[in-house]
Amino acid sequence: MIYDISQTLRPGIPVWPGDTDYEMTETWEMSDSCPVKVSSLTLSTHTGSHADAPCHYTLDGLDSASTPLDAYLGPAQVIDLSASVGALVTSDDLKGKLEDGVGRVLLKLFPAFPHEGWDPAFPAIHPETIDWLAARGVKLIGTDVPSLDPQDSKTLDAHRRVAAHGLAILEGLVLDGVPEGTYELIALPLKIEGSDGSPVRAILRSL
């Protein structure tokens, strides 16, 4: 069984307030004089389901092209906290739920993914929770919300804890309809030189 946990890139896809709107423009149209259709894309590096590169939140961080890929490929546990989470996910929310030895954790925080609008009050991750997960061997944290930190955060404390532990981040996943459990995650960022992030085609495959 394969679950596609990616947002569909499309006109009108919600983006971070003030960020670049998605647009696809046709460069060449198929016709008698042209055998192909070719388009150009305008979008943010953080549009839809995406991986944050370390240079997004640290001055000396790696870009998308240089980020090691191993964290984005392998067993991942989906944990649904959408019915109980408050403003911040704490380690208490995860105690008794995290399987031993899981290297990747995907947190469902929205009861239903808001495809048609932006929710500025999305739940975020307490920085202490990042430390707690890292201490248990987690190397990637993914979530269906747009950021590990609250929208109005100016200090990005959760991202800074990720940087301190060398973890990987996936944001904006769509986990609706995915039962809790462990799957094989495949969600590779594009090899874009200098980029602070990359859209991903994220899937989960039953083990």
Q: Is 56 a catalytic residue?
A: yes
Find the catalytic residue in 46, 56, 126, 159.
56
Rounded CA-CA distance 54/7 in Å is 22
- Residues involved in catalysis: 56
